[in-house]
Structure 1
Amino acid sequence: MRGYSGIIPKQDESGETSKKGLDITKDGPPRYRRGLYLAADVGRQWDPQLARIYYEQMVHKGNCHTQAVCAVATHLPARIHVILKEDRAYELRDLEGRPISKKDAKALIQREYTVPEEIRQRTRGHKKRRRRKEGYIRSQIRGLVTALQASRFA
């Protein structure tokens, strides 16, 4: 099911080397991928096991929200497969695998796996900073070009 979903990393292997950290394949149906993404975004707020994956991606790996949710989404097809295969209801579990109530699950997530705001700020807005920096560099280059042209004609 993971391969069908298209949310598995691309593979680039040549000889004895393999690259890690590549984009997802996006081979599967877009609606299915979108559904997994949305389910992962909600699931990380209610399921302690999914919240831990999200937390580790954000805090320890420094990924942005979207990358962290995609990492959570990669775990959902296996869960869906087991639920359908065994014909049972989805059950919230703690980190040791014991069943847990919704209230206890939410409390555990709030206590252990809430991403601090400073980390959210750190992983947010990289494009804005890059654009600002690029804009600054362009303005400096324009200033230099103007100064060179002025000195050439003076």
Structure 2
Amino acid sequence: VMHNHHFNSAEQLAAYLGLVPIERQSGTSLLGRARLSKNGPARLRAVLYMAAMVGIKHNPHVKALYERLLVKGKSKMSALGAAMRKLVHLCFGVLKTQKKYQAEYQNA
């Protein structure tokens, strides 16, 4: 629960925080890049931005995602937005399961 909101999934929390990409599809200008929706509390997004900056250097999950997106040709800023979203997903998982974060955890 965050500010009297209850989230059933990490996707719902990420959407509340404004970390979902929105594509511009207006009229003939379909060539615009996707951007973060930026709905929700800007202060939390600013904190997540700094956390993502540290995460791309020190967290193996976030670093791998960031580097994979750069190799695919994404801009550094969009890859950083994805890193912010990844941190939200990791935090949601830790809070939901009430288990300690495991950096070496792999989906089987």
Q: Using structure 2 for the length normalisation, give the TM-score.
A: 0.69
Distance 1:90 1:35 in 2: 19
Question: What is the match of residue 46 of structure 1?
Answer: 58
Q: Secondary structure, in 3 states, of the residue corresponding to 1:82? A: helix
Q: Secondary structure, in 3 states, of the residue corresponding to 2:104? A: coil
In structure 2, relative to structure 1, the CA distance for the partners of 1:20 and 1:76 (3 Å cut) is: farther
CA contact (8 A) 2:24 2:33 kept: no
Letter paired with 2:89: A
Deviation of 1:43 after TM superposition, in Å, equals 1.3
Equivalent pairs, count: 92
1:71 pairs, out of 59, 66, 82, with 82
Name the larger-Rg structure. Answer: 1
The structure whose residues are more often helix, as a share, is 1
Letter paired with 2:53: D
* Runs of 4+ more than 3 Å apart: 11-14, 18-21
Distance 1:73 1:20 in 2: 22
Distance 1:68 1:61 in 2: 10
Matched, 1:84 2:95: yes
Which sections of structure 1, spanning at least 5 residues, go unmatched? Answer: 99-154
Kindly report the root-mean-square deviation, in angstroms, between the aligned alpha carbons of the 2 structures.
2.6
Which sections of structure 2, spanning at least 5 residues, go unmatched? Answer: 1-12
Q: Secondary structure, in 3 states, of the residue corresponding to 2:15? A: helix
Distance 1:49 1:9 in 2: 20
Of structures 1 and 2, the one with the larger relative CO (CA 8 A, separation 6+) is 2
Q: Percent identity?
A: 26
Question: What is the match of residue 152 of structure 1?
Answer: none
Show the 5 A alignment for 1:22-61: 22-61=34-73
Letter paired with 1:71: A
Q: Using structure 1 for the length normalisation, give the TM-score.
A: 0.51
